[in-house]
Amino acid sequence: MKLSWNILFFAILEVINSTKTGLKWVRVNVPQFRVPGETAQLQCEFDLGNDTLYSVKWYKDHEEFYRYLPKTRPQSTSYRVEGVQVDMQKSSSKKVVLHSVNWKTSGIYKCEVSAEAPSFSSAQSEAKMEIVSLPEEDPIITGVKDEYSIGDEINLNCTSGKSRPASMLHWYINEQQIQKPEALIQYPIEHHTKGLVTTTLGLKVTLNSRHFLGGSMRVKCVASLMPTLFGEDRESEVQSLPIMRDTREALLLVKSASTCHISSVLVFILTFLNVLFYHKILNVNIFM
Ligand SMILES: *[C@@H]1O[C@H](CO)[C@@H](O)[C@H](O)[C@H]1NC(C)=O
Ligand SMILES: *[C@@H]1O[C@H](CO)[C@@H](O)[C@H](O)[C@H]1NC(C)=O
């Protein structure tokens, strides 16, 4: 019985859809991430079918900031909303340009399209934009001793560059990520000016011979910035850009002398890697 009702329901829906010739869909195209000071172009695409456009309205977190009505003069109006500065010259029915975004620009942007009489139909779509600040500095490894021997405790700190939101840090020994909670020490986030933060993650491991593959050990700290992505449960369009990921790493190579197990030679190599913007390698060798 329940099944047949469902079939009937879908059959009715089909009839409605096939006779609907007016406003079909609305889709927003909003940059997922922006850096303070940049401009942001928000697009609103729609298919009116046989309908005539009455209005396009833009909202940030449910507050209207821009309206386009083709039959009124002037056609477009903007409203004061914190963090939103519309470039009226560059904005129209299908796009809105915001200049000089700032931290308050982060939010959910919704475009609502309405048709004229007789259909009066309307549809909307929304997407999130986050303002982020990428770190200018690479992560720093501190607490490095001149010499390490098997049985010694390696006790290091890795501190991220200043970013917003906070960078995530991961330690690797010989390309294997350290996940044991007892080996990792999470220090509190440090706050700096302009809302920027640094994070520090400690590494505490007792060195054994298994760590020295071919007489050396590579210790690496990777910092990455991955702003929280839009929840998948929301019915919205998220711009299909490749996910921005800013990854930087610092690499430490600990070398043990193969002939002598007690004293080790330390080679200190720093590798800076930024997947998004550049790839730079700097080698610093310290021979004891
Ligand atoms: C929609 O428009 C097309 C082309 O303008 C027309 O052929 C069609 O009959 C229209 N449909 C309705 C239901 O008005
Ligand atoms: C790591 O950083 C914490 C917090 O700043 C500090 O208390 C600790 O002494 C540091 N450890 C090393 C090995 O540098």
Average pLDDT over residues 171-185: 92
pLDDT above 70: percentage of residues in the chain: 71
Q: For residues 280 and 64, what is the distance between their CA atoms, to the nearest angstrom? A: 45
Average pLDDT over residues 1-8: 44
Show Cβ contacts of residue 196 under 8 Å, excluding neighbours closer than 6 positions: 133, 162, 163, 164
Ranges 103-107, 199-203, 217-221, 260-264: which has the least confidence: 260-264
Ligand 2, atom 7, lies closest to the CA of: 187
The torsion angles phi and psi of 119, rounded to 5 degrees, stand at -80, -40
Average pLDDT over residues 21-32: 92
The pLDDT of residue 72 is 95
The pLDDT of residue 226 is 63
Average pLDDT over residues 163-170: 87
Average pLDDT over residues 48-52: 93
Q: Where are the domains of the chain?
A: 23-131, 140-256
Average pLDDT over residues 21-36: 91
Q: Which residue has the tokens 């329940």?
A: 2
The pLDDT of residue 174 is 84
The pLDDT of residue 259 is 30
Q: How far is CA 72 from CA 93, 116, 212, in A?
A: 13, 13, 75
Q: Which CATH number fits domain 23-131: 2.60.40.10, 3.90.1150.10, 3.40.50.1220, 2.40.33.20?
A: 2.60.40.10
Query: What global pTM score does this model have?
Result: 0.63
- Give the distance (Å) from ligand 1 centre to CA of residue 47: 14
Summary mean pLDDT of the chain: 76
- Give the distance (Å) from ligand 1 centre to CA of residue 258: 83
Of 219, 220, 241, 238, residue with least CA distance to 230 = 238
Kindly report the CATH number that applies to the domain delimited by 140-256.
2.60.40.10
Are both 23-131 and 140-256 of the same fold? yes
- Give the distance (Å) from ligand 2 centre to CA of residue 157: 6
Choice from 21, 51, 116 to test ligand 1 binding pocket (greatest atom count within 8 A of CB) = 21
Q: pLDDT, tens digit, for every residue of 87-135?
A: 999 999 999 999 999 999 999 999 999 999 888 999 999 999 988 888 8
